[in-house]
Structure 1
């Protein structure tokens, strides 16, 4: 496989790529993440994923570059990362007992091509108690996560139903990522070790 770069500092995205057997370099992209006026949440995550991948690709021509972006969306509004504990608690109170969407885009740049896909997953929270919201905010986990929670962490106990891609909610849709790499001529399974090799 050509040299692969993940244009993201997210440890969760790195863990997901390692899970499917990929070797890669991490180089976060520095782009303006301000939404455009009247931009839909789906268009927003797609644009940012592409811009991240393209920004890093310009510095590493010839490499495969993966960009990704995730937004938590409730009633058409993007819930970013909370800027304070009070905002985190307010987000969680709003998500309590309701269904929201997690929109994650993955983009792959190779050569002069950029392909992307957006995955939308419906996530339903059970009703949350005020004391557990307070305890969760105090843990610090919500502070660096879109929507103020991490499904792969302590916040996993809040989720009563999920319809769609679990890995996309964590931060990177694995099926779609593998599909883009295959489309670029680099199927992930070519990178997998074989038991025969390990026994040799």
Structure 2
């Protein structure tokens, strides 16, 4: 019996990564109160890694309740810098403030993926990538934001490395696919092992 794959995410880049890998899947965006989960976990002193994992699981579980036999892929990213978490920018001014904070420094990006079936998690992966941003001039920063807004409003940290955001970095230590939103190789490996995709 061939099981279907559903991506529980509205992210176009995540969908594109799976499409390019030749995976047949559908998309179902879950309705999850991310800020409520994040705030509650921060209040309890949870780590950015665990918050990313919990958010990914909440999304996958939500869709899995509606489509129990399918393999549901839930994902989330959390950016940690200097003991705090940076979320998606709410305005272009917010994006400028985030990028000025990160300029010339190293931060961590946690990318979580959880696969659910029958309403429960059956596989998970959290990738930890260290991102070092080059010192950025105010003039370039302003022109970068004006050219790339509102696209970067969907990205924590206000950058997209798959686009012009790659120019902001001097070094990236870790999985490039994870930076783009999906630990793709590990997901493909698991789906192949389970016989969900051909290998």
Same fold (TM over 0.5): yes
Asked which structure has the greater CA Rg, the reply is 1
Matches within 5 A, 1:96-111: 96-111=103-118
Partner of 2:21: 20
Structure 1: segments with no counterpart, 5+ residues: 191-200
Distance 1:149-1:59 versus aligned 2 partners, 3 A rule: same
The answer as to 2:179 corresponding to 1:138 is: no
Give distance in 2, aligned partners of 1:66 and 1:49: 8
Aligned partners of 1:179 and 1:110: how far apart in 2? 17
Q: Which residue of structure 2 aligns with residue 118 of structure 1? A: 126
1:179 is aligned to 2:189: yes
Choose the corresponding residue for 1:170, options 155, 180, 186: 180
TM-score by length of 2: 0.90
Q: Please give the alpha-carbon distance, in whole angstroms, between the structure 2 residues aligned to 1:181 and 1:46.
A: 19
Tell me which residue corresponds to 1:8: 9
Does the CA contact (< 8 Å) of 1:21 and 1:188 recur in 2?
A: no
**Aligned twin of 1:128:** 136
Q: CA RMSD in A?
A: 1.4
Runs (4+) of structure 1 moved beyond 6 Å? none
Cα 1:76–1:186 change in 2 (3 A) is farther
Aligned residues: 189
- Normalising to structure 1: TM-score of the pair? 0.89
Name 1:194's counterpart in structure 2: none
Distance verdict in 2 for CA 1:91–1:168, change over 3 Å? same
